[in-house]
Structure 1
Amino acid sequence: MKVTFLGTGTSQGVPVIGCDCKVCRSLDFRDERFRTSIHIQVGELSLVIDTGPDFRSQMLRAGITKLDAVVYTHEHKDHTAGLDDIRPFNFKQQRDMPIFGRIQVLDQIRKEFSYIFAGTKYPGVPRVKTIEIDENPFTIQGITITPIPVMHYKLPVLGFRIGDFTYITDANYISEESLRLIEGTETLVLNALRRESHISHFTLAEAISVAKRTGAKQTYFTHISHQLGLHSAVEEELPEGIALAYDGLQLTLG
């Protein structure tokens, strides 16, 4: 399995208009973050989790020329707004793009991208095939994906596990039942927004605590706000087996 972090930031990421903090002025490429998204290659299967507003730039930067499916964690705009930019894959691959999500996610996408689903379609609009998922495992091209239910304040969000890899973003609560689904994970990706308390995201300290509870051999933090601090400085504080992810980071697993 090959994992590429397409984006590790948030809408509170960098650069931030009008902000003159050290992170926003940093020349370290690891402090420049697109909105959170990830690409996973498993055998022949190429999939993306979430298509945020930066989706087109992310795919161009990563050099991804084949995409078999999109899987959505939840319906917030910073995770769905780039859906229109799947069109080049429609043109190249000559087929509809399967998009997987909970019913409320797909309903929101149908509302926000109504032109995609109109009875009379404008030529060249994205072509998608919506596939509803729930909390039960599902497969894409023979690859099993296990949803990990978490809470983003009062909004249900899905993390996903493929083999020994688990990806969770936009969460501030993981139930004991969901923690059991993570057991045995070797590589965990988890959100860590900032140091200060937040209504819907794990803080750095909370994320470290959760990472330790899962027993994952290696954890990478994502969905990072500029408020967390400089990448280089935060890295020095982290326990062994925990690191900050950054845009463009690639992992070869298994």
Structure 2
Amino acid sequence: MIFTFLGTGTSQGVPVIACECEVCTSVNTHDKRLRTSVLIEAEDKTIAIDSGPDFRYQMLRAGVKHLDAIVFTHEHKDHVAGMDDIRAFNYKQNTAVDIYAEARVQEALTREFPYIFDNKGYPGIPQVNMHQIGMEPFSVGFVNLLPIRVMHYKLPVLGFRIKDLVYITDAKTVSEPEREKIRGAKILVVNALQKERHISHFTFDEAVAFAKEMGAETTYFTHISHRLGRHQDVSRELPPHIKLAYDGLKLEF
């Protein structure tokens, strides 16, 4: 199974429009971060987790030729805005794309993309098969996903455990029962927004503490803001088993 970071940036991406800070003006490609999304390539299925505003370019940049499903973590714009771009896959594959989301997120998708769901039959609109998920384990083909509930301030968000890998984005608090689902994973991916306190995201120090408590062999930070600092500088501050993810990074597990 191949796990590719399609984007590792926060809601504005990096660089931020009109910003002239040292991160946004960096020439290091690791400091260029599209909105957060990942791709899972398994034996029988290719699955994206979230489709933000950069989804079209992410698919082109990663050379994705086939997409079976999108699994959504939550309904914020930086995680759903690109769903319209599955049309190209509909046309090439001559099939609908499976969408997995909680009921609340499905309602948000209906508001965001009403033309997909109004049953008027307008030609060329995205074709989707909707699947409602909750806190029970579910499968996309042979890929088994265990939902993990995290809180993004007051908004419930889903993370997922897939075999020995846990993927969490937009977390500020994680209850003890949900932490139990994470323990024992070999790879942990978790958000680390910035160093300053934030109401709805792990800070750098909070993410480091969370990673140490969970005890994964390797932890990767994602959903990174330009306020965190330059990739090369922040990397030097991390313990050996914690790393900053970057766009295009591939993990095999």
Q: TM-score, normalised by structure 2?
A: 0.98
Q: Tell me, in whole angstroms, the C-alpha distance in 2 between the residues paired with 1:134 and 1:12.
A: 28
Superposed displacement of residue 48, structure 1: 0.3
Q: What is the count of residue pairs matched by the alignment? A: 253
- Give the structure 1 partner of residue 206 of structure 2: 206
Q: Tell me, in whole angstroms, the C-alpha distance in 2 between the residues paired with 1:92 and 1:18.
A: 37
Residue ranges of structure 1 left out of the alignment (5+ in a row): none
- Give the structure 1 partner of residue 98 of structure 2: 98
Q: Tell me, in whole angstroms, the C-alpha distance in 2 between the residues paired with 1:52 and 1:161.
A: 21
Q: Tell me, in whole angstroms, the C-alpha distance in 1 between the residues paired with 2:13 and 2:127.
A: 30
SS in 1 for 2:89: helix
| 1:119 alignment partner AA | N
- Give the structure 2 partner of residue 246 of structure 1: 246
| 2:169 alignment partner AA | T
Q: Tell me, in whole angstroms, the C-alpha distance in 2 between the residues paired with 1:247 and 1:144.
A: 25
Q: Tell me, in whole angstroms, the C-alpha distance in 2 between the residues paired with 1:24 and 1:31.
A: 7
- Give the structure 2 partner of residue 77 of structure 1: 77
Superposed displacement of residue 114, structure 1: 0.3
Structure 1 runs (4+) greater than 3 angstroms displaced = none
Superposed displacement of residue 206, structure 1: 0.2
| 2:89 alignment partner AA | F
Q: Tell me, in whole angstroms, the C-alpha distance in 2 between the residues paired with 1:119 and 1:147.
A: 31
Q: Tell me, in whole angstroms, the C-alpha distance in 2 between the residues paired with 1:250 and 1:99.
A: 23
Q: TM-score, normalised by structure 1?
A: 0.98
Q: CA RMSD in A?
A: 0.8
Q: Tell me, in whole angstroms, the C-alpha distance in 2 between the residues paired with 1:68 and 1:200.
A: 31
- Give the structure 2 partner of residue 192 of structure 1: 192
Cα deviation, 1:44-90, whole Å, max 9, x if unaligned, reads: 21100000000000010001111111000000010000000001110
Superposed displacement of residue 41, structure 1: 1.2
| 2:72 alignment partner AA | Y
Structure 1 contact 172–202 (Cα < 8 Å) conserved: yes
Superposed displacement of residue 163, structure 1: 0.3
- Give the structure 2 partner of residue 179 of structure 1: 179
Superposed displacement of residue 252, structure 1: 1.2
| 1:65 alignment partner AA | K
- Give the structure 1 partner of residue 8 of structure 2: 8
Select between 97-106 and 9-18 the one with higher mean Cα deviation: 9-18
Structure 2 contact 98–129 (Cα < 8 Å) conserved: yes
Structure 2 contact 47–67 (Cα < 8 Å) conserved: yes
